[in-house]
Amino acid sequence: MEEEINPRQSHNINDLFNQRKYLKVCAPMVRYSKLQFRTLVRQYGCDLCFTPMILADSFCKSSHARQNEFTTNADDGPLIVQFAANTVHEFVGAAYMVAPFCDGIDLNCGCPQRWAKQMGLGCAMLDDPEVISNIIKECRNTIPKQFSVSVKMRILNDDKKTVDLCRQFEHAGASFLSVHARTASQSTGDINRNVLKLIQESVRCPIVANGGLTSLNECDELALETGCKGVMVANSLLTNPMLFTGASKPTLNCVQKWINICYNSTVPMSSYSEVTEPKISSRPLNLNFHCFHHHLVFMLEKILPKYKRRVFNKLKEFDDVLAFLEAELLLKPQLYDVDTFRNSYNLTLDYKDTISVYTRLRDRNACNEAFVDESNEYNSEATDGSYFNKKLEQVNEDDVEEVYDWDSLYK
């Protein structure tokens, strides 16, 4: 097959808010809201997707970070790329680089993790709202008006101060705000619905409500109660990518789509016509094992009995996962038709004509740092993450129904 990839279509995020009763949004999730998962949830009612949080400084300085942290294709939209940054030149520089390949960029002011706060990122940014406002303003001055500039934030302990912050960010030029209605110290518990309603009544820009939603009914109720123009779901979409359709759990067809998305992302354009037996190799192109396996662990939670999940969750190789899926669920990879394959093929992203904005802004701000090509200091793949480990703990409890031995059954 000739290497002819369809161009990406752009989307106006402001128009999107006007076209829907409320937007159904896939949250930025470290490790998980990557291209393959974004492709899946869009097939089940998701209106807008975010990338995982990307460190802007590493993205600007490192070609390795740019290659690994952001991938997209012709069908990857509407799309918001989220960056963590605490300087104008890093955020705007990174935003300018990805602008041709997405529909908006978002500043993370909500991450409560210790490492982010120690770096002055995430929710630590809310301590200096002037920096956030300056970042928004500079983005607006550098990137065309239609392009969306947004902030994802947590609430403060004081509702009035939270509202004042949102007004300040709107005045600076924010297209919309995503508000996780918990404080930085709250990881669980009820969200503050009253402050969401108060914020939406106090600003003109759309507010996307976030926090603890587990079903479409809950999304409907929150949008109706608060008047928010969007709802954002995170972990519950991992276990049920069909959540926005009203389904209570994923179907086998949903799992099959995930397998197909992942498999086809590994096939080189030059090899498409030579495929006879679809199979994921041990070290595939554009796919790591954690991404493929973790999402299956989440999706199969309500499909497989616990004793089978206990075996599946411990698998470490693509071959073993594929053998299990075929033996237990009669599922195996399927090659896309030509048109679908072209639209799903990763775009080649060329940043050479856009990196100059970062260096110009950096020099203007008199930053004494050399431009070096170095790897990202934060590696989201270095650990499995707390959400995945929690799922492992749930199936490793003692009340296992029966012994289920992988080696004797499938080796």
Catalytic residue IDs: 111
CB 376 within 8 A of CB 68: yes
Distances (CA, A) of 174 to 136, 137, 169: 6, 8, 6
Transcribe 312-365 into DSSP letters: HTT--SHHHHHHHHHHHH-----PPPHHHHHHHSBPPP--TTTHHHHHHHHHHT
The separation between CA 379 and the C-alpha centre of its own chain, rounded to angstroms, equals 15
Cis amide linkage into residue 78, ω under 30° from 0: yes
CB 229 within 8 A of CB 22: yes
Pick from 364, 213, 351, 238: which is nearest to 294 by CA? Answer: 238
Q: In terms of C-beta distances under 8 Å and separation of at least 24 residues, what long-range contacts does 236-240 make, across chains too? A: 237/26, 237/27, 237/41, 237/46, 238/29, 238/32, 238/295, 238/298, 238/299, 238/387, 239/298, 239/299, 239/301, 239/302, 240/299, 240/302
Structure tokens at 356: 């100059």
Pick from 178, 174, 146: which is nearest to 15 by CA? Answer: 146
Transcribe 78-120 into DSSP letters: SEEEEEE-SSHHHHHHHHHHHGGGSSEEEEEE----HHHHHTT
